[in-house]
Structures are given as C-alpha cells and as structure tokens.
Structure 1
Amino acid sequence: MTNEIKMITFDLDDTLWDNKPTITNAEIETRKWIEDRVGTIDWGDLNEFLQLRETLIKKDRSIAWDISKLRIEIFKEKIKGLASADDITKLAEDAFDYFLKKRHEIKLFPGVESALKTLSENYTLGVLTNGNA
C-alpha cells in the first residue's frame, strides 16, 4: 500500500478568496436589482433582519439549514405588497439567481491561481463546500 498523496481538496470561501466582500457586494447588488423592479424597500437594520430570519424559520424549520431557500423566503417577504401575489415567487427566485451570479464574482487571494496551476501538474484538485460557492 502506498501513502502517496494523489488529491488535494479545498474549501472555497475564505480559503481561496475573502468571502465577506463577495457576499456584501452580492447582497447590495441584489437589493438594487429587486428595487429596480418593485420600487424602494425598507430592508431594515441587522436586528430586524435577524428577527425576520427567526420568524421565517419558525414558520418552516426546514429552511434553517437551507440558506438558499431562506434567502428566497426573505426576498418574498420584502417584496410583499410591492408586486402582485402571482409575481412574488418568480421575482424572489429571479432575485436569488441574480444573487448567485453576483456571489460567484470572486477575487482570488494573491497567488492562488498560480498555486493551483502548479499543484494541478502533480495532483488532482477538488473542492468541498457546504454552500453554493
């Protein structure tokens, strides 16, 4: 039996890039995208956001660990009253798709790209993630 390393795996967020500015930008851009379609929204402060999350999770415990679904539900809640009932789900899902697009606009830490290229010459590279990075 050989102990030769053949594969190297990485987590993505905060390993290959700084996740905070990526998520912050995605959030800001998505809010603008939504407001371009429904008008100005009172997004509230952090405490109001956390309270909304808690309320939504109490209604549906399954979204406590499904951050994507939770985000869509938050968008639906914020869009209520600003779009027709028929349009709310579609708008929230489209907003989430836009968020994902922006969430994938990353800036790698310096040296990551060249390091991955060098490593790929001798190892199979992979990623493990618990999200949608």
Structure 2
Amino acid sequence: MIKLITFDLDNTLWNSDPVLAKAETVLYSWLEKNCPELASRFSVEAIRDYKAAIANDNPALLHRVSALRLEVLRIALLDVGYASDAAEQQAKQAFQVFHAARQQVTLFEHAEHLLKSLSLQYQLAALTNGNADVSIIGLDRYFDFALTAEEIGKQKPHPDMFLAALEKAEVEAAEVIHIGDHPEQDIMGAHGAGLHTIWVNFDETPWDSDLVEGHDAAPGKVANCLTEIPKLIGQIENSLIK
C-alpha cells in the first residue's frame, strides 16, 4: 500500500509566477533604497538577464537557486564598485529580503484541506527545485519533511531527490506517489525513480508523448483539480491490491 506521498510545491500548491514577480519587485525596491548604485545600473529585467548569464557560466549553481541569486547580487555589487566584504554583506541582506517575499504565497483553492486530510493517513514530503520554505509558509504542520535541490545538489528530474525521500521515509518506491505539475521534472523524474505519479494538470493540457522516452513514462493518473487527488490515490491503491 501507499505509505508516502510527495508533493511538488510551485505551481502544484500555488501559482509561483506572481509570487516570484512580486518578490523581485520587493527586492528591487530595497536595492533602490539601500544599493542605489546597483539599482541605477540594473533594471529588474537586466538583473534577470544577469542571472541567466551567471548561471550559464556556473552550471553547478543551476541546482542551487538560492546560491545562484546570492551570487548574482554579490557580483553585481562588485561590478558597480562595492568592496568585496561590503558586496558580500549587502548581497546577503538583499537575498533575505527576496527570500522573505518569496514565501508570501496564496494557496490554490482546496490545497490546504487536501494536505490536512492526507497528512492524517500518509507520510507527506515536499520536494522542490525552488527555495519555497514550508516552515515559513506555514505548511510544515502537514509535511513530515521537505527536500530541496539546494541541499540534495541535483534538481528534479534527476532521481537523487526522489531517492533521498525514499531513504528518509524508509519506504520503497512502489509505496510512494509523487504529485506535481511539471511533465519532465515531476512526472518523468518520479517515474524514472520508480514512483507512482499523479500529474496536476489544471489547464487540461494534452500529454506530450514527445517529452518522454516511452509511453510508460506518461502519468499514472491526471488531476485537473486538487479535489480529485484523494480519489486518484485510492485508484492507485486499488490497483496495487489487484
């Protein structure tokens, strides 16, 4: 039977696009007041481009979104004339501003009720490539643990995060369902690690078989609304009994 359910966070339990956009705006306002030299040279869009360039030059940082953003701020501050120590200190303060704003999420309808009900029956874990923090958001009451690409060192769809979750929960892959919105990172990744999958597909987008190596990598179940998930979990469990 199913013993662990793992959840992706961004765009599975909330819409991350407005959250990140707002966090970048909050950060930029802070930079205007506290690091005007940087704000006068870089717009929000220019900082995004700068971030992409630094990520391209430092592939290891692609799996560490917090470290990447911190490095972007540090190097940008150096570029506009800050001394090394001052740049490092200001970058840390700026990142803290961004990180706090990044946690101000609005859950999708039914998300908290879903987590609450499932947490009474299963172990729950959060698996994210981003830097959302369930303890700051206030969802840690439902999750037994959370893993990030930052700490694992690899992003989904790499199997390491899924395998780390199995080890931490002391379960087998066949006893786990992963729930997420991203076809490659969540569904292909979890399938590759041997987990059952539920694809959160609010837009009812057709599954693109070109993304996968074979038909078997398609999602085990598809949820067009979070309220469908308990029923889909039950279907997976019933299939295991048979």
Cα offset for 1:67?
2.5
Q: 1:114 to 1:60 in 2, by over 3 A?
A: closer
- Quote the Cα distance in structure 2 between the aligned partners of 1:126 and 1:26: 25
Match of 1:19 in 2: 16
Shift of 1:126: 1.2
Aligned match of 2:98: 99
Q: Structure 1 stretches of 5 or more lacking a match?
A: none
Change (3 A) 1:118 1:62: closer
Superposition deviation, residue 69 in structure 1: 2.3
- Which has the bigger relative contact order, CA under 8 A and spacing at least 6? 1
Aligned partner letter, 1:25: K
- Is structure 2 residue 71 aligned with structure 1 residue 73? yes
Q: CA deviation at 1:55?
A: 4.4
2: CA distance, partners of 1:67 / 1:57: 9
Are 1:115 and 2:118 matched, yes or no?
A: no
Quote how far apart the aligned CAs of 1:48 are: 7.4
Q: Percent identity?
A: 32
Letter of the structure 2 residue corresponding to residue 76 of structure 1: R
Q: Would the alpha carbon gap of residues 32 and 48 (structure 1) be closer, same or farther in structure 2, given more than 3 Å must change?
A: closer
The total of aligned residue pairs comes to 129
Shift of 1:130: 2.1
> Measured at CA, do residues 109 and 131 of structure 1 come closer, stay the same or move farther in structure 2, by a change above 3 Å?
same
Deviations 1:74-133 (A, max 9, x none): 212433436444311110111112211111111100110111111122112111112322
Q: What is the CA–CA distance in structure 2 between the aligned matches of 1:41 and 1:78, rounded to whole Å?
A: 12
Deviates more, 1:9-18 or 1:37-46: 37-46
The equivalences for 1:32-111 within 5 A come to 32-39=29-36, 40-44=39-43, 46=45, 49-50=48-49, 52-53=50-51, 55-57=53-55, 60-80=58-78, 81=80, 83-111=82-110
SS of corresponding position for 1:126:
strand
Task: Provide the alpha-carbon RMSD of the alignment.
Answer: 2.4
Counterparts of 2:47 and 2:19, CA distance in 1: 22
Q: TM-score, normalised by structure 1?
A: 0.80
Q: What is the identity, as a one-letter code, of the residue corresponding to 1:131? A: G
**In 2: Cα distance, 1:96 partner to 1:48 partner:** 13
AA paired with 1:78? A
Greater strand content: 2
Q: Which residue of 2 aligns with 1:125?
A: 124
Instruction: Point out where structure 2 has 5 or more consecutive residues left out of the alignment.
Output: 133-242
**One-letter code of the match for 2:77?**
I
For normalisation by structure 2, the TM-score amounts to 0.47
User: Alignment partner of 2:40: what SS?
Assistant: coil
